[in-house]
Structure formats: structure tokens, C-alpha cells
Amino acid sequence: MDDRVELSLHIPEPFARPGETPTFDHVDIPAAGATRRPAVDAAEVDMRDLPYGMVRVLDADGRAVGPWASQMDPEFLRRGLRAMVQTRVFEDRMFRAHRQGKTSFFMKSTGEEAIGVAQSMTLAADDMCFPTYRVQGWLIARGYPIVDMINQIYSNASDPLKGRQLPILYSAREYGFYSLSGNVGSRFGHAVGWAMASAYMKDHRIALGYIGEGTTAEGDFHEALTFAAVYRAPVILAVTNNQWAISTFSGIAGAEQTTFAARAIGYGLPGLRVDGNDFLAVVAATEWAATRARTNLGATLIEFVTYRVSGHSTSDDPTKYRPSDEPVHWPLGDPVERLKQHLIALGEWSDERHEQMQAELTEAVRTAQREADAVGALGQSKPSAREMFEGVFKEPDWRVIEQRREFGI
Amino acid sequence: MAQMNMIQALNSALDAVLADDPKTLIFGEDVGYFGGVFRVTDGLQAKHGLTRCFDAPISEGGIIATAIGMGAYGLRPVVEIQFADYILPAFDQLVSEAARLRYRSNGEFWAPITVRSPYGGGIFGGQTHSQSPEAIFAHITGLKTVIPSNPYDAKGLLIASILEDDPVIFLEPKRLYNGPFDGHHDRKLRTWAGHASAEVPEGLYTVPLGKAAIVREGADVTLLAYGTMVHVGLAAIEESGIDAELIDLRSIVPLDIDAITASVTKTGRCVILHEASRFGGFGGELSALVQERCFYCLKNPIERVAGWDTPYPHAFEWDYFPGPARVIAALRRTMEA
């Protein structure tokens, strides 16, 4: 008789599929204020509990509590709220523009706005972020012209990237926003290299790299963390864990076994797990990691726990693979509502002011869109075809010159 | 002027740029204290400091990714991939990032990186230390690919590559490191000593990319080659008695198309020689270009001499390697056909 155990292959499955009741009981969420805040210069070996906690500041009543709470200027918070609302209004508008045939593709960051906005406002103007396509709020928080974002999305004659890039794969050096690409993960190591260069030059600037939880499975993630740890690079490495990679739940990237923040432990890096829908927690964790980076204490891995409310892109229908009411069950709520509630609790904001701001920002987006529409939507207007042949090399070689002539310009 | 072998010439190039430009730095596997498995970075860390020339993890993807990030910051990193056979884990970084960054960001960011890598066979390195992957880089729009054939060019081309604001793949024919190998593996080894191109100036000088060299002028057939095959081709010409014109391309991107067409227009015959396997090799591109531009001057079909379409076989190194006998046969065919 064969008494050996029969092997079985484990294929992770999410807790609920369409038609089933959504649950997030598997996401461990400590109370606001419960996770400790070590000294900025604490040794990594003494912080290995942090990846299993969660940095949270805002409690259910919108109060800032616990060791990560600090006195924050209400004006700073109002600016953050404004940028988040602006991002949401803008993205809703562009999503509709896609449905109207004005562009080929679009992606929203609904529910994740706090991450890009808070980090953009916390880091210095001359730091550099290496974004994913779901942190458009970074640009909006820094006042990047909405009309230029729309021109890029339309690939029209005023597109700052000259019609060469898919919509929303922006590049904005002056705004600390590195060139995006559709290959996820491949810029994560660039953030580390940029930070190494800053250290090499005895500069003061730091880098921030973003990656999605799904993409942590790429070798780029391991390579970047290895280099960041080995060379003590002044970089913040941020995993935006929004639970979904297109239709694939985070368990397929390894979330059943441990947290993404805990990946840091194997590299000897501090790892923070942070409530990504809590604007104040994002600011506090980013400040902490930035201070470490700026004082030669090296890199920090931060997992921002959040939720992708929208589909992956305009090409995706999330009701095909997850319950349609899953977003409303997300336990960390809406980052906009939570910051708004906090400001109201502080006596620094009101529903009326919020509505007024919302109307004002909606109008601002409409105005910007009208301006972009006047240049032309996708197919109605495009940069000179000459641009197709420019920028391959610093100086074009004979192939490009000949082919441009062959094309007829 | 000093006598240098190719390793010394490359080391001299790196030494000169480190001394000249504080924004230049070197990293790669074993390149720091030890000075690289082929000794190309020997002594540079001791002379220029730990942060100018240091060891990297065994992570080709990580090496190229961090180099691109450094380039975006404003440095000029020069990285070593220990063998060209090992470059493939970094292929995504080269294709999707280094080659595309300038274009997709409309010039906001670019990758002024130089990727050095020993390449080619003839050293009994088997499948994983012998390959010639130049064609896959040539196919990637946005990369430049440079292959020197002698110490003087190696130094001048490497300095020119480092000064480029575009990414350069710099492939070093490792069989040429210590001497001008002509493919006669059963004969006594020759060193660079006494060779005209081993006279290498100290300090900075450049050999421009995209400018081929006419190694031997001839009237009857054009032989296109680069790297180790330049020496194989020269031996074959001398032994065949055919009055062939030998062109050393020196870089395949940018390609000196004018030198190629001028020569083939003159001779009316063309033989293309490379060590890489033939199908889909760079010889196919050269052949197409010659056909497109020189068809009415051609007296006979274009010939290609290349490695067989097999992996690089250890025990059969000299059966695989396109040595002088195969080149002579091709030269004769194109003369007689």
C-alpha cells in the first residue's frame, strides 16, 4: 500500500467572484494609531514588525490619532483634498471622452488618489518620481496644466510628447515625473539608479519608484531592491497594492503568504505597510522614509494598501471577474471622503465649500477640455508626421533621413 | 605613443575618461577591486576611487536598469556585462527603456550609457561564452552597436561611445584581446606586439562611430567584416591571391553605408563575413542593402560566410568558426560564378 501523500497543486482564488458576496476579511487592518512609529534612524533589524502592521492616522471619526499623526497645516490638507478631487473629476471626464471616441485609451486611479497626491506634495520639487500609470495625481498636485494632459491623451497637435506615446504615459521632467511606459516595472530600477547617481554626486535629492503589487512578481522588483539595499540608495520604493492586476487578484502575486511590505525584510530594508487611502498616513510614511533617504540611511519599501475602484483601463470590464459591488465593501473607504471628513472635524472645511470646490474644479476641467477640443481630439489633429522620425537618436542617422524622404516629407 | 594590446587600450580609454569627466563611472560584475575577468578595468578602482569603479550584483537587468537611471540623472555610466552571452536578462531594459527613452519622452530623458561586453568565440568557451548577438541589437531602433577590431580603434571607439548621448552596445571580440587572430587556430599565437594598430596614444582621442575603415584596397571583390573577422578576412585575401577590398565596418549602427556602396560599386562583387550564425544575422541586412543600392553594378551573387545555424558547439569550435578556408572558397565562388 502506498502511504505517500498525494501532491496537490494550489491555485489561489479570490474570496468572491461575480454574484458572490464581497469580503475583505483576509486583509489585516489594525486600528488607526495602533502601529508604532520608530525613530527615523532606528535599525532595520528592530523594525521587522512594521511590515505586518499598518500605518494609519485617520480614525473612523476623521480624527488624526496615534504616533504617526502630526500637526499639519490645514491649508496643506485643503490643497491635498483639492488635488485629489481635481484628479477624480479629470479622470471621470477623460473616461467619458474615451467613450465619446476622443481618445483610444484611458486609465483611472479612482480610490487611489491619496498616494500620488500626498507623495507629490511631500517630496521636494527637485526630487524625481518614477511613476506608474495610476499616479496621475502627482502631476495635478504640482499644477501641471490639465490642458496638456488632455492634449497628450488626444495625441493632438499640441501633445507635449508629439503623438509618440499611448494616452497617459506622460513625461514631465520639470514636475519630477519620469517618462512612463506601458511595460510595467521596468522603471523601478531606474529610480534606484537615479538615487545612486544623486548619492554619487553628493547631491541632496532623492528618488521615488512606484510599482503595482502584481508587478512585484517581475525580476525588476527583486533587482531594484537588491541594488537599493546593497548601495544604500536614497530612494523610496512604493508598492501600490490596489488588490487587482487587471483581472488577477493579489493572491496570484503572493499576497496569501505574506504582505508586500514584508518583502523588504529579506533585503534588510525597512518595510512599512501603510493605509493608502489615508492622506495623512501617506504623508507621514513618506516623510519618514524621505528623512531616512536624505540622511544616508538608505531605502525604504512602502506598501500602500488601497483598492482599484475602476476597471484596469477603458479596455476592461471588472464586473466580469469580481463582484460589481466589491468597491463599496472596501474597508479603508474613500480617500477623498476621509480627508474631507477630517478637515470638517477640524472645523477647516464644510460640505458647502466642498460642493463649491467640486463645481469649480469641474468647470476648470471643462475649460481645459474645450481648449484641447479646439486643437482636436484623436484623429482630428496630430503633430507633424515629421515628429515620427525625430528623437530616435540625438542626431538622426541616414536610415531615418531616407525613410522620412520615402514617406514624403 | 605606447604599444598596447586591446585590453590595455580599453583600460587606457576608461582611465582617460574617468580622469576627464567626474560624471563617468564604471560598474559591473567583478570589475572593481579585481579589475574584471578579462582585466579591462584593472587598477581603475585603486587609481580613481571606490565610487568610480565598483562591483555589481550578478544582475544584468539590475546593472542596465540602474545605469539608465544614472543616465537620466545626468551621469555617463559605463557598465560591463561579463560575457555578451549574459546580456539577455537585461534585454527588456535595453529594448524597452534605453532605446526608447529619448523618443517616448520627446527628449526630456535619455540614456547616455555604454554597455561593454566581451563577445565572440575562438576561446573554447562553449555555448555560453562564445556567442555573437550583434544582430539582435542592430534590429533595435535607438541602440548603437560598435565592434572594434584592433587596439587603436578599441580605445578611440570606446571613448567616442562613452561621449555619445545615446545608448551604445560596445562588443569586444575577446579573441582579439591579446592578438590579431586570423582564424588559423593551429598556428603559433600572435600578439599585438609590433602591429601598427597596437600603437596607441595616451590620453583622450576618438574614432568616430559610423565610419568604416578600408583595411585593404582592392579592385575585384568587396569583403565586409567587423571584429575578429577583419583579421580572418585579411588572411583569406592574402592566401587566395584575389585582389579583394576589405572593409572593417567598426560600428554596425550607425552603419557607414557610403563606404559600402562606394566599394561594391567599384568592385561589382561582395562577400559578407561574420562569426554569428547566418540566418537572420547582420549579413542579411548588409546583403539587402548592397542589393538595393548596387544591384546594377553586381557581377555575381552576394556571398555570406558565417557561423552555422547551430548553437556554438564546444568540441566543434573550429568546425563552426568561419575560418579562412571558408572565406577563400566564398571569394573564389564570387570571382568564378
What digits encode the pLDDT tens for the residues A52-81? 999 999 999 999 999 999 999 999 999 999
The phi and psi torsions of B27 (rounded to 5 degrees) equal -150, 160
Q: How far apart are CA A205 and CA A197, in angstroms?
A: 10
Residue B178 near residue B7, CB atoms below 8 Å: yes
Cell of B225: 567584416
Interchain contact, B106 vs A164, CB within 8 Å? yes
Is B105 inside a domain boundary?
Answer: yes
Q: What's the mean per-residue pLDDT of chain B?
A: 97
Shortest distance between the Cα of A351 and any Cα of chain B, in A, equals 41
The phi and psi torsions of A394 (rounded to 5 degrees) equal -60, -45
- Closest Cα partner for B159 from B148, B175, B174, B173? B148
Catalytic residue among B129, B139, B195, B231: B129
Residue A261 — very low, low, confident or very high, per pLDDT cuts 50/70/90?
very high
Is B208 inside a domain boundary?
Answer: no
User: pLDDT by residue (tens digit) across A280-317?
Assistant: 999 999 999 999 999 999 999 999 999 999 999 999 99
Nearest CA in chain A to B96: A183
Is B205 inside a domain boundary?
Answer: no
Interchain contact, B70 vs A194, CB within 8 Å? yes
Interchain contact, A393 vs B166, CB within 8 Å? yes
Chain B partners of A223 at a C-beta cutoff of 8 Å? 59, 61-62, 65
Same domain flag for B224 and B326: yes
Q: In this model, does residue A323 exceed pLDDT 90?
A: yes
> Domain A44-316+327-378 maps to which CATH number in 1.20.1250.20, 3.60.15.10, 3.10.20.30, 3.40.50.970?
3.40.50.970
Q: Does B124 touch chain A (CB under 8 A)?
A: no
| Percent of chain B with pLDDT strictly greater than 90 | 99
Q: Does B139 touch chain A (CB under 8 A)?
A: no
Cell of A151: 492634449
Which of B151, B177, B200 delimits the end of a domain? B200
Q: How many CB pairs under 8 A join A and B?
A: 135
Query: Which pLDDT does position B337 carry in this prediction?
Result: 66
Q: Which A-chain residues 103-142 have CB contacts (< 8 A) with chain B?
A: 128, 130
Q: How far apart are CA B215 and CA B232, in angstroms?
A: 12
Chain A partners of B51 at a C-beta cutoff of 8 Å? 200
Same domain flag for B116 and B179: yes
Q: Which one of A160, A193, A200 has the shortest CB-CB distance to B65?
A: A193
Same domain flag for B9 and B70: yes
ipTM at complex level: 0.97
Which of B200, B235, B267 delimits the end of a domain? B200
Helix (H, G, I), strand (E, B) or coil at B145: strand
User: pLDDT by residue (tens digit) across B262-302?
Assistant: 999 999 999 999 999 999 999 999 999 999 999 999 999 99
Interface probe for B, chosen from A127, A227, A236, A386 (most Cβ of B below 10 Å), is A227
Same domain flag for B226 and B307: yes
Query: Which pLDDT does position A316 carry in this prediction?
Result: 94
Nearest CA in chain B to A388: B103
Residue A1 — very low, low, confident or very high, per pLDDT cuts 50/70/90?
confident
Helix (H, G, I), strand (E, B) or coil at A19: coil
Chain B partners of A188 at a C-beta cutoff of 8 Å? 65
Which of B200, B234, B269 delimits the end of a domain? B200
Chain B partners of A202 at a C-beta cutoff of 8 Å? none
Q: Does B335 touch chain A (CB under 8 A)?
A: no
Q: Residue B239 maps to which CATH number? A: 3.40.50.920
- Closest Cα partner for A108 from A167, A171, A23? A167
Interchain contact, A189 vs B51, CB within 8 Å? no
Interchain contact, B106 vs A171, CB within 8 Å? yes
Q: Which residues contact B315 (CB under 8 A, 6 or more apart)?
A: none
Q: How far apart are CA B104 and CA B108, in angstroms?
A: 9
User: pLDDT by residue (tens digit) across B125-160?
Assistant: 999 999 999 999 999 999 999 999 999 999 999 999
Q: Does B217 touch chain A (CB under 8 A)?
A: no
User: pLDDT by residue (tens digit) across A360-378?
Assistant: 999 999 999 999 999 999 9
Q: In this model, does residue A239 exceed pLDDT 90?
A: yes
Q: Does B93 touch chain A (CB under 8 A)?
A: yes
Residue with cell 477640455: A369
What does DSSP say about strands B303-307 and B270-277: parallel, antiparallel, or unpaired?
A: parallel
Nearest CA in chain B to A190: B69
Interchain contact, A223 vs B144, CB within 8 Å? no
- Closest Cα partner for B248 from B262, B229, B263? B229
Specify the number of domains making up chain B. Answer: 2
Same domain flag for B76 and B145: yes
Nearest CA in chain B to A203: B73
Interface probe for B, chosen from A393, A398, A406 (most Cβ of B below 10 Å), is A393
Interchain contact, A394 vs B104, CB within 8 Å? no
- Closest Cα partner for A292 from A369, A195, A154? A195
Same domain flag for B306 and B226: yes
User: pLDDT by residue (tens digit) across B212-266?
Assistant: 999 999 999 999 999 999 999 999 999 999 999 999 999 999 999 999 999 999 9
Query: Which pLDDT does position B1 carry in this prediction?
Result: 80
Count of CB atoms within 10 A of residue A61's CB?
A: 10
Interchain contact, B75 vs A197, CB within 8 Å? yes
Query: Which pLDDT does position B30 carry in this prediction?
Result: 98
The count of residues in chain A is 409
Residue with cell 510599482: A211
Q: Does A267 touch chain B (CB under 8 A)?
A: no
Residue A326 sits at the vertex; the CA angle it makes with A338 and A358, to the nearest 5 degrees, is 40
Residue B314 annotated among the catalytic residues of the structure: no
Same domain flag for B8 and B145: yes
Q: How far apart are CA B138 and CA B254, in angstroms?
A: 9
The phi and psi torsions of A245 (rounded to 5 degrees) equal -115, 100
The secondary structure of A359-386 as a DSSP string is HHHHHHHHHHHHHHHHH--BTTB---TH
Same domain flag for B163 and B244: no
Q: What is the domain extent for residue B36?
A: 2-200
Is B147 inside a domain boundary?
Answer: yes
Is B206 inside a domain boundary?
Answer: no
Q: How far apart are CA B170 and CA B116, in angstroms?
A: 5
Q: Which one of A179, A195, A220 has the shortest CB-CB distance to B61?
A: A220
Residue with cell 585603486: B46
What is chain B's alpha carbon radius of gyration, rounded to the nearest angstrom?
19
Chain B partners of A164 at a C-beta cutoff of 8 Å? 103-104, 106
- Closest Cα partner for B63 from A230, A150, A95? A230
Domain boundaries, chain A: 44-316+327-378, 385-409
Average pLDDT over residues B3-26: 98
Interchain contact, B93 vs A189, CB within 8 Å? yes
User: pLDDT by residue (tens digit) across A37-57?
Assistant: 999 999 999 999 999 999 999
Q: Residue B135 maps to which CATH number? A: 3.40.50.970
Q: How far apart are CA B77 and CA B217, in angstroms?
A: 38
Q: Which one of A171, A183, A192 has the shortest CB-CB distance to B108?
A: A171
Interchain contact, B110 vs A183, CB within 8 Å? no
Shortest distance between the Cα of B328 and any Cα of chain A, in A, equals 32
Q: In this model, does residue A171 exceed pLDDT 90?
A: yes
Interchain contact, B69 vs A197, CB within 8 Å? yes
Is B190 inside a domain boundary?
Answer: yes
Same domain flag for B176 and B251: no
Q: How far apart are CA A234 and CA A192, in angstroms?
A: 8
Q: Which B-chain residues 261-290 have CB contacts (< 8 A) with chain A?
A: none
Q: Which A-chain residues 300-329 have CB contacts (< 8 A) with chain B?
A: none
Is B157 inside a domain boundary?
Answer: yes
